[in-house]
Structure 1
Amino acid sequence: MTTQPTLTLAGPTGFYARFGKAVFDRVVGLVLAVMSLPVLMLLMIGIGLTLRKNPLVREPQVGLDGKPFLLLRLRTAAPERDHGYGRMLRRLSLDELPQLWNVVFGSMSLVGPRPLDADHVANLEAWMLRRHLVRPGITGLWQVDARGDGRDLVDNIHYDIQYIDQISLSTDLRILLKTLLVVFTRRERQPEDAARPPRRRLTSRFPHIRQVIVDQIIWSLALPLAALAHADFAGSDVNRMGLLVAIITAVGVQVFWGYGVGLYRGRWQLASNEAVGWLIVGTTLVSIALVAETLLPGDGPLKVGAIVSAAGFQLVSAIGVRYLANAVYAAQGRSNHTRPHRLLVFGAGAAGLKAAEAVWDDPASDSLPVAFLDADVAKHGTRPLGLSVVGGAESIGSAAYRYNADLLLIAMPSATGTAVRDIADIGHRAGLSVRILPRLSEYVLDDTDVVMADIREMTLADFLPREELSLDLESIAGYLTGKRVLVTGAGGSIGSVLCKIIERFDPKKLYKLDVDENALHGLQLALEGRALLDSDELLLCDIRDQPALLAAFEEAKPEVVFHAAARKHVTFLESHPGEAVKTNVLGTLNVLAAALAVGAERVVNVSTDKAADPINVLGLTKRMGEMLTAYYAGQGSTSFLSVRFGNVLGSNGSVIPTFREQILNREPITVTDPEVTRYFMTIEEACQLVVQAGALGNGGDVFVLEMGQPVRIVELAERLHQQLAPGRALDIVFTGLRPGEKLHEVLAGPDEELVDRPHDLLYRYAVPSLDPAVAQKLPANGSREFITTQLVETLADPPF
């Protein structure tokens, strides 16, 4: 970990931890010790016969408040022999049976940290001594969560500290139950168990038959016992026929009511408040029916007092069985495989609880939830799912150290991006890797359970210094429904997401045009789940090939065109400006002319913020694309417009993949300048903008998205490093601005005229037109300096 917060040696709090636990240990321990005494005597006799040594061993250990005591256990080996009988005792943990008497004598607890000898205690750090603020236990949290996986003492002490923070009766019962399951099953649940088909049983046809049977058995026992008790246990005074009638009545009413309201049809969870409530109502109805029988002529089957006693016994027993069964099912359902990571969950609301259960239950999960945190002070100190809510954001560092956690899951789907970023920053500073349950825009809880697939690592989109934008596409994208739509550059990062969005609106045809056959192969696989490349909607074509492009348009006859094909890498295009002219200028001209020729209704040209006040080849050529789009807007009934946005996170050619590779390879992160800034948006935002603008635009204008404040590239690199390599030193090398790069980008040039804001998130700027004849005269071959000079001069004084 990067820091070691100061930890106080505070003991456990709460009534149970301070008072109830001792009573529980003495009472239960005494009962178990007496009941197991015959077994213990037989085991001791077996040890004497096999090892010929004193069967009982007394080991000096350190207990509560550092005081010594003698730990009792059975001998399982002798210096000269290791008998199979002793190995069997160790395997079944029967050698620890005498420790029940340690519990009775008050030196140990049923559940707690395992005792250590004085030599080990002498080497403990100060914070580790907190484990001695409670009595050592026969079993503990680390034994049931990490049994036999080779964890060292320090790791186990983190489990002990976690247990001390979470002491409660339910926690102790759960640990005892899991101890029995671990000892007697002797195997971990395997991933294939979930896929194994169940055996054909009665429960496969009537999955809740156990509830029915148990409830009726309880009534069948409660009524005779109550009748006997009220007859002073004189069986001759009990109306046996009347008792039989009462049992039949109780069973009939209970079953009829239970199935009628859904209690026996799985309408509610086994021990939910709703199920318990309806169980109380059902018991009350049975009692009323039995009391009504006493009003019949003759001797009533049971006295009213006996009926009330039986009803109380039945209700308490039925609820108790349900809670016990719920605990058993939960313990069996939670995968017990070894997990290399320990997880803090920030968010103790419904989403956080469901996320923690998903992590627990998934047999492929690599992490174990150990504690909750929450911004709501009222939840601090509570124990949802048996895990303590140990504080808010300010407690992340200390909780990470105390519980030896290395992961933080932020489970607040309704929180703002700012709140999530603040919590993630604290987690990163504590050396934690951060995962997130997506926001409600991506994932809606309703009554759906969270699954592991819903939990993901944080992406850089989560770190944008603004809320992620979500435009109302459903209300404006009707212009795509039932239309023939064509996307150029469909296999690229922007084009492929654009195709996915367009498909949601049921176009008549969606033509995907690209020069890269591998990109089209991957796109068809992503969209259709197959990649046979046999669809007439896949168009392999180069937009620089004017005859071929026109033929493709004439065959497809698109009504809506999205032009996303482009050369866009600044540094490459500075070295090869002719390629930018061929694609970004002449290729765009070909697309515009073809769309007009086939009578398309709308054409949306995808541009870039580099076109605003351009100083590099990419910006110059993309600005010319905008101007050509404006020219064609006046040539017919087709609606032409352009869309301009900033750098797209994770798109092909962006800095993010480069940073990621450098971090994962432990290489220095290369940044051009410590002050360089850029506007960023997600691919989804960019494509939503394109679709939105297509509904609003005409006249060749350019639409610009409201993108908030620009982001410093250094901060972007720092955040990515924190996420991918928490706790590792950051190494950034500044390389200087490259030719054609700006220190700060702008979204609109100083001379551009703002027309209006057709949407709260969109600006519309007027664009001057450029005659295609001028564009066609631009040199695409020649020296770099010559081509660049011609581009600059054409834009400086364009003939319109």
Structure 2
Amino acid sequence: MSRFFLRSTQHFLDAAIVAVAFVCAFLLRFDGELPEQMLKRMVFLLPYVVGIRMFVLFATGVPRFAWRFVGMRESGRILQAVLLGSAILVLMRVIGGELQTVSPRAQYMVIPYGVILIDLILAFLGTTGVRILWRLRNERRSRARHNAPTHAGSPARALLVGAGSAGVQVARQLSARPDMGLMAVGFLDDDAMKRGLEFHGVRVLGTTGDLTAVVQEHQIAEVIITIAHASTAQIRRIVSLCDEAQLPTKIIPGLHEILDGRVELSRIRKVSIHDLLGRAAVSLDLDLVGSFIAQKSILVTGAGGSIGAELCRQIARLEPRKLVLVERAEPSLFQIHRELQSAFPDLELVPAMADVCDDERVRDIFELHGPEVIFHAAAHKHVPLMEINAGEAIKNNVFGTRTVARAADAFGSESFVLVSTDKAVNPTSIMGSTKRVAEVIVQALGQESKTRFAAVRFGNVLGSAGSVIPIFREQIATGGPVTVTHPEMVRYFMTIPEASQLVVQAGAMAEGGEIFALDMGEPVRIVDLAEDMIRLSGLDPHDDIEIVFSGVRPGEKLFEELGFDAEAMDTTGHPKIFQGKLAPIAHERVESGLTRLGACRSSQGRDQVMEALRELVPELQADARERPVLPPASLAGQEPAPEPGPPEPSQADSAPQPA
């Protein structure tokens, strides 16, 4: 059945139902014996009543609901539509009563109140009932289609934690899909008023505190967290209880991740480390961000990297006129261009393969495409690698930034947003120092340019290429050991979409010269992260998978910082974005420092490079161990982790900054 024919059939059924309801209302009101005058009145009004009710149904969005998903929310919307239609009929009756002394035909508008009331009840029951019958029909057909379960034996007994709307949806779908091999045995919900109630035939057996007892009593094989907006603390507590009971735990995605608010069984997944770290959904000032991006030419450097690619996805949703993807790695550029082409077929995309250090190529791109807003995300990010490749870090992070920033200034771009890092604060590494110099460059250019220059700092992102989470996952998959640099190593984390959205928001807020810092939430011990990931894999840390400490490497810090002491970090109009204005360094001094830095770029001596960097970054320390660093306040008082064992070679460190 085609979609058009299905929709047409459903609209016809709605029209037929409201017509029959109106006729039946007259017949019931007059006990089946309509006076001739009332019969004429009914026939005259019927097309108008059907038209009014159909108009109201469409106006309130009722036809957009999928009939196979009808539930309490949809029924409530139908009731609103029917009440509104009946209110219009009452208004017609009042007006007709006033006008019938002037015009005899106005008497046909006078509908008895009893008829309106009965019509309201029948129209609601009819339009809702047909949808419920349609849903039940689909569920029966689904059961018949999947009557031979693909899972061997009887279905696994599942316990649903959360008896809200999302949990009820899951229970309903499990009932309709025996082929999934799961049977909802009961709910747990911390609302004590729900204990003993049934939702779609599934009883609330207790609260989460009763989990262990319920699991034993009802022989539960799997727990599914069906709380739409579960907090990190809730998830951790439930996962911990399930670990004690040796039960696998799954979770539904947050409803903000699902456009239509529907929870599909296919979207239920295992609890991930992202759930345990817990980052709330970002709210954006859509008017401000929209005016910053919409119908403009936007350029993103490093478009194939973790942050660069997500920036492109977020920007594409805001309907720019053109999106220029600058990336030097061919596979990454091909992948992000292909993805965006498929998702946004009407958007003009320009895949520009280029090295940001190539001044001539960069200027050609600016001249050809005239970008109005630039997001500079291209950077070398790995701290240990940049310690032994200092020249490349300086070339890409410093002089690449200067090349793109100068082009933005020369071609009159409106805004330039540098994606920076918390490692630029009191840096101890080559990578962090070069990113701080990049901040200095854009601030210096901003003093003399009409372009609004700004930088946005944040910490580590979850799951970026080469970061700690995929490395730990790989080490766990091979049986360990999981290597951590130091038992007290601490980092701030945020998700890639969250970081990208806030970078765009901060760019829209910039007036020129700002260095923004994002709210990174609570710091996380890397060893705790490793232990959580091992447990989520169904294993025991230190027993099944060994954790070894490899020692802090050159350039690394135990604790990252989010702002300078001399930098007054002020609040902004967004709760997750803070603003600090450092006094910019004079442009002449910056150019002098860059000349010296360029001269020693090929030097093999780290000390010489660090001395040149220190001219532009006076707060630079040669090594993290030169100065004591106190842990973040939120970790004060926690039990220290075990002392590190013998150093072993490792590539797992704090998650590096995104490209």
Q: TM-score, normalised by structure 1?
A: 0.58
- The letter of the residue matching 2:151 is R
* 2:547 is the alignment partner of 1:732: yes
Distance 2:301 2:71 in 1: 55
- Quote how far apart the aligned CAs of 1:458 are: 3.2
The 1:670/1:360 distance shift into structure 2, 3 A limit, reads farther
The 1:649/1:617 distance shift into structure 2, 3 A limit, reads same
- What SS class does the counterpart of residue 402 from structure 2 fall into? helix
Q: Contact 2:518–2:576 (CA<8 Å) still a contact in 1?
A: yes
- Give the percent of matched residue pairs that are identical in Structure 1 and Structure 2: 36
- What SS class does the counterpart of residue 527 from structure 1 fall into? helix
Q: Contact 1:578–1:787 (CA<8 Å) still a contact in 2?
A: no
- The letter of the residue matching 2:251 is I
- Quote how far apart the aligned CAs of 1:366 are: 5.4
Partner of 1:97: none
- What SS class does the counterpart of residue 314 from structure 2 fall into? helix
The 1:551/1:732 distance shift into structure 2, 3 A limit, reads same
Distance 1:732 1:659 in 2: 10
Alignment of 1:309-324 (within 5 A): none
Partner of 1:353: 168
Equivalent position to 1:339, from 145, 151, 162: 151
The 1:637/1:730 distance shift into structure 2, 3 A limit, reads same
* 2:439 is the alignment partner of 1:629: no
Alignment of 1:533-544 (within 5 A): 537-544=350-357
* 2:594 is the alignment partner of 1:785: no
* 2:404 is the alignment partner of 1:591: yes
Partner of 2:623: none
Deviates most, 372-381 or 418-427: 418-427
The 1:429/1:684 distance shift into structure 2, 3 A limit, reads farther
Gaps of 5+ in 2: 21-31, 33-45, 55-62, 80-128, 620-659
- The letter of the residue matching 1:630 is Q
- What SS class does the counterpart of residue 771 from structure 1 fall into? helix
Deviation string for 1:115-173 (max 9, x for gaps)? Answer: xxxxxxxxxxxxxxxxxxxxxxxxxxxxxxxxxxxxxxxxxxxxxxxxxxxxxxxxxxx
* 2:319 is the alignment partner of 1:520: no
- The letter of the residue matching 2:362 is L
* 2:385 is the alignment partner of 1:572: yes
- Quote how far apart the aligned CAs of 1:756 are: 5.4
Relative contact order, CA 8 A, sep 6+: which one is greater?
2
Distance 1:693 1:506 in 2: 18
Equivalent position to 1:696, from 509, 529, 532: 509
Partner of 2:197: 382
Partner of 1:669: 482
Q: Contact 2:192–2:207 (CA<8 Å) still a contact in 1?
A: yes
Deviation string for 1:221-280 (max 9, x for gaps)? Answer: xxxxxxxxxxxxxxxxxxxxx9xxxxxxxxxxxxx9xx9899xx99989998979x99xx
- What SS class does the counterpart of residue 275 from structure 2 fall into? helix
Partner of 1:711: 524
Deviates most, 420-429 or 657-666: 420-429
- Quote how far apart the aligned CAs of 1:462 are: 2.2
- What SS class does the counterpart of residue 223 from structure 2 fall into? strand
Q: TM-score, normalised by structure 2?
A: 0.69
The 1:366/1:618 distance shift into structure 2, 3 A limit, reads farther
- The letter of the residue matching 1:422 is R
- What SS class does the counterpart of residue 453 from structure 2 fall into? strand
Q: Contact 2:321–2:348 (CA<8 Å) still a contact in 1?
A: no
- Quote how far apart the aligned CAs of 1:479 are: 1.4
- What SS class does the counterpart of residue 537 from structure 1 fall into? strand
- Quote how far apart the aligned CAs of 1:678 are: 0.5
- What SS class does the counterpart of residue 203 from structure 2 fall into? coil
Q: Contact 1:718–1:730 (CA<8 Å) still a contact in 2?
A: no
* 2:591 is the alignment partner of 1:772: yes
Deviates most, 590-599 or 416-425: 416-425
- What SS class does the counterpart of residue 523 from structure 1 fall into? helix
- What SS class does the counterpart of residue 418 from structure 2 fall into? strand
Partner of 1:50: none
Partner of 2:615: 794
Distance 1:647 1:764 in 2: 19
Distance 1:529 1:382 in 2: 46
Distance 1:433 1:570 in 2: 37
- The letter of the residue matching 2:317 is R
- The letter of the residue matching 2:596 is K
Equivalent position to 2:188, from 361, 373, 377: 373
Deviates most, 612-621 or 448-457: 448-457
- The letter of the residue matching 2:418 is N
Gaps of 5+ in 1: 1-195, 216-241, 243-255, 279-319
- Quote how far apart the aligned CAs of 1:746 are: 0.6
- Quote how far apart the aligned CAs of 1:710 are: 0.8
Distance 1:425 1:650 in 2: 23
Deviation string for 1:680-702 (max 9, x for gaps)? Answer: 11111211221111122233221
- What SS class does the counterpart of residue 725 from structure 1 fall into? coil
Partner of 2:206: 391
Partner of 1:233: none
Distance 1:475 1:787 in 2: 45
- What SS class does the counterpart of residue 204 from structure 2 fall into? coil
- Quote how far apart the aligned CAs of 1:342 are: 4.2
The 1:373/1:538 distance shift into structure 2, 3 A limit, reads same
Distance 2:389 2:10 in 1: 71
Distance 1:649 1:381 in 2: 40
Deviation string for 1:32-62 (max 9, x for gaps)? Answer: xxxxxxxxxxxxxxxxxxxxxxxxxxxxxxx
- What SS class does the counterpart of residue 170 from structure 2 fall into? helix
Q: Contact 1:343–1:406 (CA<8 Å) still a contact in 2?
A: yes
The 1:489/1:429 distance shift into structure 2, 3 A limit, reads farther
Partner of 1:477: 290
Partner of 1:651: 464
Partner of 1:314: none
State the aligned residue count. 519
Deviation string for 1:351-397 (max 9, x for gaps)? Answer: 11112223444577354433221112222233323333222212223
- Quote how far apart the aligned CAs of 1:437 are: 2.4
Distance 1:385 1:640 in 2: 56
The 1:269/1:662 distance shift into structure 2, 3 A limit, reads closer
Distance 1:749 1:464 in 2: 26
- What SS class does the counterpart of residue 200 from structure 2 fall into? helix
- What SS class does the counterpart of residue 343 from structure 1 fall into? strand
- Quote how far apart the aligned CAs of 1:712 are: 1.1
- The letter of the residue matching 2:564 is G
Equivalent position to 1:439, from 254, 275, 282: 254
- The letter of the residue matching 2:576 is L
Equivalent position to 2:228, from 413, 416, 420: 413
- Quote how far apart the aligned CAs of 1:452 are: 2.6
- Quote how far apart the aligned CAs of 1:797 are: 4.7
The 1:748/1:394 distance shift into structure 2, 3 A limit, reads same
Deviation string for 1:399-422 (max 9, x for gaps)? Answer: 344444443222221444433343
The 1:633/1:396 distance shift into structure 2, 3 A limit, reads same
Partner of 2:417: 604
- Quote how far apart the aligned CAs of 1:623 are: 0.5
RMSD: 4.3
Distance 1:324 1:602 in 2: 56
Deviation string for 1:433-481 (max 9, x for gaps)? Answer: 3332233433366xx6432344343333322266444333444331111
- The letter of the residue matching 1:788 is V
- Quote how far apart the aligned CAs of 1:527 are: 1.2
Partner of 2:126: none
